[in-house]
Amino acid sequence: MATREEVERLVRQVVGEVLAATGGAAAVAAEPGRRAPLVAANWKMNLLAADVRAWPAKLEPPAGVELVVCPPLVWLPLLREALGPAARAALGAQNVHPAPRGAFTGEHSCAMLRDAGASWVIVGHSERRALFGETDAFVAEKLRAALAGGLRVILCVGERLAERDGGATFRVLRGQLTAALADLGFPAPDPATLVVAYEPVWAIGTGRHATAEQAQEAAAFLRERLAERFDWRWALAARILYGGSVTPASAAELAAQPDIDGFLVGGASLDPAAFSSIAAATARAKERR
């Protein structure tokens, strides 16, 4: 008897063939310039002031790739100053609280993040879920508040190793994505303001990464779910990133996949030269497509 994962893979194949015949999802491959690549840096809890001041000097942004840097919140104003008026990269935050103000010690509102220079925020990162107990419902609340508060969002979803080994990858991705988007009202948000990052938890900080085939399969699945939630036009305009021990060596093959529009980079982003190499590899891969 076929497993649920095998059935869903077959369904995706059939859907893809139908869309190819009708000009649906195949339009992504036919129009390689449709979605601008995005490469985002998540510094997590790393670097000190001297590192932050020095980081932009070695950043080499390639043409045609949007860059976002998400430092620890305390460094947002300093990094904004270090990057200078040329704005070679946008700034983002690693977390946000959904309330506009109040007695939430240690938290920061959307307005505070914008005031500190952030235009993006990461929501639902696996470390926030696993280490700080963030539920799907709280992730959804943050997402809704961030979009309403004028921030662009990188929404993270991904499965643990036991879930992948148990054939539950697509069930987990469907559940996390459905829960996060459930409370978004009409009309749908601008797809430029909502990016989905597939981050297999088993590949974060482990030195392992999903194969190009695994990453593409997950990204295509997520795009189909976005089409179900909104519509195909919206889903084809939305960007899907891969995050999980991305390096300059692995970036080219991953970026060549049709449904992977860039990366959420962790450890490698601490080195501006490595981060620039990943962005450059992304630009080259999308130019060749």
What residues act catalytically? 125, 199
Phi, psi of 4 (to 5 degrees): -60, -40
Provide the token pair at 284: 């080259």
| Helices 212-229 + 4-22 axis angle, to 10 | 70
Q: How far apart are CA 152 and CA 195, in angstroms?
A: 8
Q: Which residues contact 61 (CB under 8 A, 6 or more apart)?
A: 67, 88, 89, 276, 279
H or E segment and range at residue 280: helix 272-288
| Helices 212-229 + 248-255 axis angle, to 10 | 50
Phi, psi of 91 (to 5 degrees): -105, 145
